[in-house]
């Protein structure tokens, strides 16, 4: 068994310098310079208490969400067995703050790490083992797919932790990808005015600016910028 895996990254997991995130990127991933941009349906959609109640990014299948840009960063380690894939997922979950105290976990009520499988991957005994083990991992979690959607959009994850994210050409070199999903809050589409108003009111713009500087973009970004009191400029400063 030899498979190639990687992590889908949006938001602060890519750039934030918290020790757990720095360690995860250093230990588990190839150099950030090897990032692969791909088109993704992402938007600002989760109110964050730790970010002054401004909004962080979510992945979604909502039809009103156009494409933005996210990244895939390959794992350093080849996936030679199911345990390696699981250890990569738990490491990502730790970096995301999903562990319960010191107990390893892929799931909290606000989010989870899910698994995306290359749809062109041939069925094999090894693939079935990975699917069965992943399903067993999620059997102890109370994951409700409807928590991750609003309106009548297609589910983005199932109860067994398998992701329903569009597979793009940029992903074709991979067999498995992991990604963190977070629960939308509030459960509705947020317009640019709402997102920008929170940033202006609180003065907290680091999350939006760092995403923008690092090329992690949503289809809403330019309209949000037009409504901000302070504008990012080409040299990554403000005017």
* Angle formed at CA 128 by CA 124 and CA 130, multiple of 5 degrees: 120
pLDDT tens-digit series, residues 90-112: 999 999 999 987 789 999 999 99
Q: Is residue 236 over pLDDT 70?
A: no
Which pLDDT belongs to residue 231?
A: 78
pLDDT above 50: residue 235 = no
- Answer yes or no: are the C-beta atoms of 101 and 32 closer than 8 Å: no
Domain ranges in the chain are: 5-227
**Spatial CA neighbour of 14 closest among 36, 47, 41:** 36
Structure tokens at 170: 């940029």
Which tens digit of pLDDT belongs to each residue from 54-81?
999 999 999 999 999 999 999 999 999 9
Looking at residues 218-234, what average pLDDT do you find?
Answer: 88
Instruction: Please compute Rg for the chain using Cα positions.
Output: 18
Q: pLDDT tens digit string along 146-193?
A: 999 998 899 999 999 999 999 999 999 999 999 999 999 999 999 999
Helix, strand, coil: what percent of the chain each, to 5?
35, 25, 40
Query: d(Cα 230, Cα 137) in Å, to the nearest integer?
Result: 45
pTM comes to 0.94
Which residues have a Cβ under 8 Å from the Cβ of 189 and sit 6 or more positions away?
43, 45, 62, 64, 65, 150, 151
Kind and range of the H or E run holding 74: strand 67-74
At residue 134, does pLDDT exceed 90? Answer: yes
DSSP per-residue string spanning 110-145:
TEEEEEEE-TTPPP-HHHHHHHHHHHHHHTTS---G
CA-to-CA dists, residue 237 to 54, 166, 206, angstroms: 20, 34, 12
pLDDT of residue 141 exceeding 80: yes
């Amino acid at each position: 068994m030899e498979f190639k895996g990687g992590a889908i990254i949006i938001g602060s997991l890519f750039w934030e310098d918290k020790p757990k995130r720095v360690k995860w990127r250093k230990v588990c991933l190839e150099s950030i310079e090897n990032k692969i941009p791909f088109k993704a349906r992402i938007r600002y959609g989760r109110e964050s208490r730790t970010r002054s109640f401004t909004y962080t990014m979510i992945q979604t299948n909502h039809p009103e969400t156009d494409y933005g840009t996210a990244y895939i960063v390959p794992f350093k380690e080849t996936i030679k067995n199911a345990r390696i894939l699981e250890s990569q997922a738990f490491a990502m979950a730790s970096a995301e703050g999903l562990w319960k105290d010191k107990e390893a976990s892929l799931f909290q009520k606000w989010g989870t790490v899910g698994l995306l499988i290359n749809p062109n991957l041939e069925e094999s005994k090894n693939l079935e083992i990975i699917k069965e083990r992943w399903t067993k991992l999620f059997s102890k979690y109370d994951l409700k797919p409807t928590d991750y959607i609003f309106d009548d959009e297609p589910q983005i994850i199932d109860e067994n932790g398998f992701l329903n994210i569009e597979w793009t050409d940029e992903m074709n070199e991979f067999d498995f990808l992991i990604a963190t999903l977070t629960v939308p809050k509030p459960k509705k589409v947020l317009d640019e005015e709402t997102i920008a108003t929170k940033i202006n009111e609180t003065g907290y713009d680091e999350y939006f600016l760092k995403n923008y500087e690092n090329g992690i973009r949503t289809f809403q970004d330019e309209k949000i910028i037009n409504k901000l009191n302070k504008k990012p400029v080409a040299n990554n400063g403000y005017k």
